[in-house]
Amino acid sequence: MHGTRATNATLLTGLCAGVAVVHDCDLAVCAPFPYLGQVSACLHGSGISWGAQDVSKHEQGAFTGEVSPAMLNDFGCQWALVGHSERRAFHGESDQLVAEKAAAALKAGITPVVCVGETRAEQEAGLTTEVISRQLAPVLALGAESLAKMVLAYEPVWAIGTGLTATPQQAQDVHAFIRSQLSGLGVPQVRVLYGGSVKASNALSLFAMSDIDGALVGGASLVAEEFLRIAAA
């Protein structure tokens, strides 16, 4: 929940000015709902796509404050984050709700970026794969055809905004586990992103891992130069 029209304009202008040096990489900006129109206009023609930070599971109706997938699609939205750790922690979103949001986004032609990840306590207790399995279960239950149209993101909660980052090998181990789950359903090609204090200084070592396909960038995305350096990596 960052941004004003003025700071957004500076950030987006910087991204558009520098994106020409980034090759073989899909870039997207996921912004708060009030600014999606500004983001769409500023990024038009830049090669950078845009998306929302959340989406409702409902198509329409008496759900005050919710934003439906159809509404986002109406404006050309391509992506929607679902199940971000902050939504799970602060809004009590269940694994099942996250899967329902992903399914609703797909139905409207929007690509859901489904986030999973464990807390520090869970990680220290050796429960990482157990937690990831539980969170993924209702998403995997949607089937291979749906999964093939999604992006997954592993975001260890203990590494978000803490300055801590999973080592490349720690991240790779979890990504490999997620990949094995996808392979079991015949969709190993689904992109799996890493999110957890990704910055320019550690991006290259993370992306060198065989099962890390990209990044879900947090705080570093608020500085155009830093985001573009991650993209270049």
Flag whether 197 is marked binding: yes
Q: Within 10 Å of residue 17's Cβ, how many Cβ atoms?
A: 12
Arch. (CATH architecture) of 51-232: Alpha-Beta Barrel (3.20)
One digit per residue, the tens of pLDDT, for the chain of length 233 reads 999 999 999 999 999 999 988 888 999 999 999 999 999 999 999 999 999 999 999 999 999 999 999 999 999 999 999 999 999 999 999 999 999 999 999 999 999 999 999 999 999 999 999 999 999 999 999 999 999 999 999 999 998 877 777 899 999 999 999 999 999 999 999 999 999 889 999 999 999 999 999 999 999 999 999 999 999 99
Give residue 219's identity as a one-letter amino acid code.
Answer: G
Flag whether 196 is marked binding: no
* CB burial readout 31-68, b (16+ within 10 A) else e: beeebbebbbebbeebebbbbbbbbbbbeeeeeeeebb
Rounded CA-CA distance 181/184 in Å is 5
Closest to 162 (Cα-Cα) out of 84, 218, 216, 93: 218
Prediction pTM value? 0.96
Residues 6+ apart with CB under 8 A from 142: 99, 102, 103
> Would the CA dihedral through 165, 184, 53, 6 be positive or negative?
positive
Flag whether 143 is marked binding: no
Active site residues: 84, 155
Q: What are phi and psi of 114, to 5 degrees?
A: -90, 120
Flag whether 117 is marked binding: no
